[in-house]
A and B are shown apart, each in its own frame.
Chain A
């Protein structure tokens, strides 16, 4: 939620309060409402880029989580993924996600991977997919970004950058 939206919400509640018959309760309720709104802002897990989700979980098994702005979210089929998310799997975990350009990405157990960038806006000619793998095993099947702008698709490991041109590959990274 943006600050502007919260201020607008506070203003509206104030208006409501002013129209309210009860005078005693008014002095206590408004500060409590403001505190509540501020707490819900702080406690929220809204993504850093509030535009739109970029991928959806299609398969999941065992322990798999998304880490978003310091918050850990357990994975379920249908869960939406946002830019900057970290995907992690446990000892018996695995996960498969579909991006909005039909790129398929899956992880095996004990894996960690970060989605640094994802932009798919064909009508504006904007394309980018940058994935950074820190450890584990992954399988990647390229989507429409690789068809329309192959130079903008990058898969990074700690040692190397993999340029992708319309392809399917698997990667294993021995991290810490």
Chain B
């Protein structure tokens, strides 16, 4: 798995409306980092004046005025991250006991798993058993092709198909929590009606 070596940073500066001219304006700073497994998520920073979405590594946004939107992203170096956030990062809890999630993908307009995804089941089953997990979430999604209603149904079929497979492989049904979101939560944002294999997915979250 690739690890991003640069970090995504968001600078948010606050210029207090009541601040005297002699004082440096107060600032808020937000930096987006990769997850422990190397994935980078999405952060949206919203002020009274507007918003800024960050979804790429190595950039920072700054708010200079509460009434203005956060500024366009700028890079932040690893040294600065360590200087400012070192103690907070060192105090992060140990990720060893944290949930593990798996992504399974499907053929277009179908609850049929791709061949690569079928191969993931042994690892999923082993993870559930090794952890003696009693809480497993199975979450179904679709891409943006088709109507909302149709895709609610399709994502439900996908999630339940995965659930049924886990149960038939010996997993206790009581530990599985199934949910589905149709086309409302694409992993990869696209225009409506755009097919995207990475959005045709079920996520299995093992505690």
Interface residues of chain A, those whose CB is within 8 Å of chain B, are 58-61, 94-98, 102, 104, 106-109, 111, 122-123, 125, 137-139, 141-144, 146-148, 150, 157-175
Contact = CB atoms under 8 A, between A and B. Distances in A.
Given A142-B41, A172-B29, 4 more contacts: A104-B98, A139-B89, A159-B12, A171-B29
B109 interface: no
B157 interface: no
Sorted from nearest, which 5 A-B pairs have the closest CB atoms? A167-B41, A108-B88, A108-B87, A159-B14, A106-B91
Contacts of A146: 41
Interface in B29-49: 29-36, 39-47
Given A109-B87, A122-B137, A165-B41, A139 B92 contact: yes
B28 A94 contact: no
A174 B42 contact: no
A170 B12 contact: no
B87 A94 contact: yes
B89 A162 contact: no
A7 to B, nearest CB: 38
- SS class, residues of chain A in contact with chain B: strand
Given A98-B93, A139-B85, A162-B44, A169 B137 contact: no
B31 A170 contact: yes
Nearest to B13: A159
Contacts of A174: 14, 26-28
A72 B54 CA distance: 37
A88 to B, nearest CB: 14
A174 B85 CA distance: 13
B203 A147 contact: yes
Interface in B51-98: 63, 66, 70, 81, 84-95, 98
Given A106-B92, A158-B14, A160-B28, A168 B34 contact: yes
A122 B93 contact: no
Which of B29, B88, B89 is most buried by chain A, counting CB atoms within 10 A of its CB?
B88
Interface string B95-130: 100110100000000000000000000000000000
Nearest to A62: B87
A152 B204 CA distance: 20
B179 interface: yes
Contact of B92 (A104, A109, A123, A163): A104
A144 B179 CA distance: 13
B161 interface: no
